[in-house]
Copies of this chain bind each other. A is one copy, B any other.
Amino acid sequence: MESKRDLAKLSALGYRITQQRRLVLGVFLADPCLQSAEDIYDKCREIDSSISYPTIYRTLDILVEAGMVRKTHFNQGKSWYEAADNNLHHHHLVCRECGSRFSLRGCPMDLLEEELQRAQFKVLDHQFEIMGICKDCQSV
C-alpha cells in the first residue's frame, strides 16, 4: 500500500513526486521503527541501486518539514528517523550493547505543561531517550 495521502501532501507543498521520494516513503511505511539515514539508504538501494545519499538526506529533510517524519539524535553525530504518523507519540529505550530499541508508552512532556507555560517557552520539538542495557544483554 503506497500512501496516497502522503504523496498528495508532498504535492500540495509544491514538491514533485519522484521515484526516489516514493521509495523513501515506502521504507517508512514498511518499518515504523527508528532508522538511521544509512538504514534507509541500504533499504532503498536494494530496490533502486542508483539512489544516492544526497537524495536520501534531501528527501528526509522534506519529510521532516512536511511533518511526516520525526528526527532525533541519540548517539554521537548520527540522526534517527521514524514515521510521525497517526501512531501514538512515544519515546524509546536504547540498548547500548545490541542497539535494539524498545518503545515507551506515553511522553513525559504532558507532565511539564505547567512549567513550560510559566516560562513562556514555545515548544517546537523535544527528545527523550533512555540508554542502558536491555534484559537480554544483561543475562549474557
Contact = CB atoms under 8 A, between A and B. Distances in A.
Interface stretch (A5-13, A15-23, A100-108): A100-108
A77 interface: yes
A78 B73 CA distance: 10
Given A75-B73, A112-B108, A102 B131 contact: no
A98 to B, nearest CB: 12
Q: How many chain copies does the complex carry?
A: 2
A132 interface: yes
A133 interface: yes
B126 A131 contact: yes
Given A109-B130, A124-B131, A102 B119 contact: yes
How many A residues touch the partner, as a band?
Answer: 35 or more
Chain A interface mostly: mixed
Contacts of A73: 73-77
Contacts of A120: 135, 138
A130 B126 contact: yes
Given A93-B121, A124-B132, A126-B129, 13 more contacts: A74-B127, A76-B77, A77-B79, A93-B119, A102-B121, A104-B112, A104-B115, A108-B108, A119-B135, A123-B132, A125-B130, A127-B128, A128-B129
